[in-house]
C-alpha cells in the first residue's frame, strides 16, 4: 500500500491537455508542443505515454502550431552540416496505384544542377512501393551520415538518407504504425522538418484539409515551401486531375491551381513493375502517364525555386530531354 502521493510524471500534463474530454481537451500551444517533443526526443517519456500521446493527436488532428513547435524541438537537437541544398524532398508514403515517377523527376533535376536532399522512413505498409526499395536500381545514393550526404550532393546532386540515421527517436515513432494500428502524426511531421534548411521544402499531403495546415506550419517556421496533394501521398503530380499548389514564401501565402494535363484518366497498371522506370529513363519505353507525371513534378519543384509556371514547365521539358547527356544513364 502506497501512503505517499506519487509525483506526477512531467509528460503527463501533455497527455491530459489532449485527452481531458470533449469540453476540457484542447490542442497544444506552440511552446507546449516544443516542450513535449523535447521530452520525447530526450527519452524522458514512458512507452504508454508515447502511445497515448500519438493516438490522441491523431484523433484530434495536429495543428500548424503543434507541427511548428515539434519541428523547433527537432531542429534544436539536430546537428547538421552547413551544406547548400535547393530542395528538401520528403518521401514517406510509398506508391500503390502508380509507379514512383517522382524518383525520375528528382534524378533529372539533379542531373541538371538542382541539389536535392531526399529522406524517408522505410517500408511500413504492405502492398506499397517505397523509395528505399528502388535506390540501388535507380542509382540514387543512400547515405548513412551527413558527410556521405554532402559528398553525394557534390557528386550527383541527389542524396537520400533514412530518417533513422539522423533522428532515430522519430523513426521509432513511425515504426509504431503496425503496433498502434494507425499512422501517427509523425508521418506528417517528418515532411515539415527540412533538416538541411533547403531553399524550398516540397511537401505532399494526401488527405484533404491538411495541405493548408502544413503550409501554415512552414510559414510559422519562416520556411519557403510548396504543399500539394501528391499522387499516393508522394511529391508527384497526378496529371489526370487538377493540382493545387499551397505556397508560402517570406511569410506570405500564395495559391495556384494547375489544371489537369490529360483530358482522359489513364488506366492504372495491373502491377507496378520498377523495371519500367529504367527503360523509360533510357528512352527505350514510352508511357503517357509517366511523361506527364515526371515533367509536371519537375515543374512544381522549379516553381518552388521561383520560376513562373510556364517557364517551369518549359525548363522541366528541356531538362528531362537533356537527362542522358548530363548524367550517367541507369543500367
Examine residue 107 and state whether it is found in any structural domain, yes or no.
yes
> The domain that contains 55 carries what CATH number?
1.20.970.10
Same domain (yes/no): 158, 223: yes
Examine residue 331 and state whether it is found in any structural domain, yes or no.
no
Q: Please give the pLDDT value at position 290.
A: 96
Same domain (yes/no): 149, 41: no
Say how many domains are in the chain: 2
Q: Please give the pLDDT value at position 84.
A: 96
Which among 53, 76, 99 is the end of a domain?
76
Q: Please give the pLDDT value at position 181.
A: 78
Same domain (yes/no): 162, 244: yes
pLDDT < 50: residue spans in the chain: 327, 329-331
Q: Please give the pLDDT value at position 262.
A: 86
Examine residue 5 and state whether it is found in any structural domain, yes or no.
no
Q: Please give the pLDDT value at position 8.
A: 87
Same domain (yes/no): 23, 142: no
Same domain (yes/no): 117, 23: no
Same domain (yes/no): 66, 140: no
Same domain (yes/no): 68, 208: no
Examine residue 2 and state whether it is found in any structural domain, yes or no.
no
Q: Please give the pLDDT value at position 180.
A: 81
Same domain (yes/no): 63, 110: no
Domain with 39, as residue range(s), is 12-76
Same domain (yes/no): 135, 154: yes
CB atoms within 10 A of CB 23: 6
Examine residue 7 and state whether it is found in any structural domain, yes or no.
no
In this prediction the pTM is 0.94
> The domain that contains 144 carries what CATH number?
3.40.1030.10
Examine residue 32 and state whether it is found in any structural domain, yes or no.
yes
Examine residue 82 and state whether it is found in any structural domain, yes or no.
no
The angle subtended at Cα 186 by Cα 128 and Cα 78, nearest 5°, is: 115
Same domain (yes/no): 40, 134: no
Examine residue 3 and state whether it is found in any structural domain, yes or no.
no
- What gap in Å lies between CA 314 and CA 284, rounded to an integer? 23
Same domain (yes/no): 170, 256: yes
Same domain (yes/no): 103, 171: yes
Backbone angles phi, psi at 12, to 5 degrees: -60, -30
Amino acid at each position: 500500500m502506497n501512503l505517499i502521493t506519487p509525483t506526477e510524471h512531467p509528460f503527463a500534463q501533455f497527455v491530459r491537455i489532449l485527452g481531458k474530454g470533449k469540453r476540457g481537451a484542447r490542442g497544444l500551444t506552440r511552446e507546449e508542443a516544443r516542450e513535449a517533443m523535447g521530452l520525447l526526443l530526450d527519452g524522458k517519456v514512458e512507452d504508454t505515454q508515447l502511445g497515448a500521446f500519438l493516438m490522441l493527436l491523431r484523433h484530434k488532428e495536429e495543428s500548424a502550431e503543434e507541427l511548428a513547435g515539434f519541428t523547433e524541438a527537432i531542429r534544436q537537437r539536430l546537428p547538421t552540416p552547413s551544406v547548400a541544398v535547393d530542395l528538401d524532398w520528403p518521401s514517406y508514403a510509398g506508391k500503390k496505384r502508380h509507379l514512383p515517377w517522382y524518383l525520375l523527376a528528382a534524378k533529372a533535376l539533379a542531373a541538371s544542377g538542382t541539389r536535392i536532399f531526399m529522406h524517408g522512413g522505410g517500408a511500413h505498409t504492405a502492398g506499397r512501393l517505397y523509395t528505399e526499395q528502388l535506390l540501388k536500381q535507380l542509382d540514387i545514393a543512400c547515405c548513412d551520415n551527413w558527410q556521405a550526404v554532402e559528398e553525394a550532393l557534390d557528386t550527383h546532386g541527389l542524396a537520400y538518407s533514412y530518417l533513422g540515421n539522423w533522428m532515430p527517436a522519430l523513426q521509432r515513432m513511425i515504426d509504431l504504425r503496425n503496433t498502434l494500428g494507425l499512422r501517427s502524426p509523425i508521418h506528417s511531421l517528418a515532411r515539415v522538418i527540412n533538416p538541411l534548411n533547403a531553399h524550398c521544402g516540397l511537401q505532399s499531403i494526401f488527405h484533404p484539409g491538411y495541405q493548408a495546415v502544413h503550409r501554415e506550419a512552414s510559414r510559422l517556421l519562416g520556411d519557403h515551401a510548396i504543399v500539394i496533394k501528391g499522387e499516393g501521398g508522394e511529391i508527384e503530380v497526378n496529371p489526370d486531375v487538377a493540382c493545387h499548389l499551397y505556397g508560402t514564401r517570406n511569410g506570405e501565402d500564395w495559391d495556384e491551381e494547375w489544371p489537369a494535363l490529360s483530358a482522359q484518366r489513364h488506366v492504372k497498371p495491373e502491377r507496378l513493375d520498377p523495371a519500367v522506370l529504367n527503360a523509360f529513363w533510357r528512352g527505350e519505353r514510352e508511357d503517357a502517364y509517366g511523361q506527364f507525371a515526371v515533367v509536371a513534378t519537375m515543374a512544381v519543384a522549379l516553381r518552388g525555386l521561383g520560376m513562373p509556371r510556364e517557364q517551369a514547365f518549359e525548363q522541366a521539358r528541356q531538362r528531362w530531354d537533356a537527362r542522358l547527356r548530363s548524367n550517367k544513364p541507369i543500367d
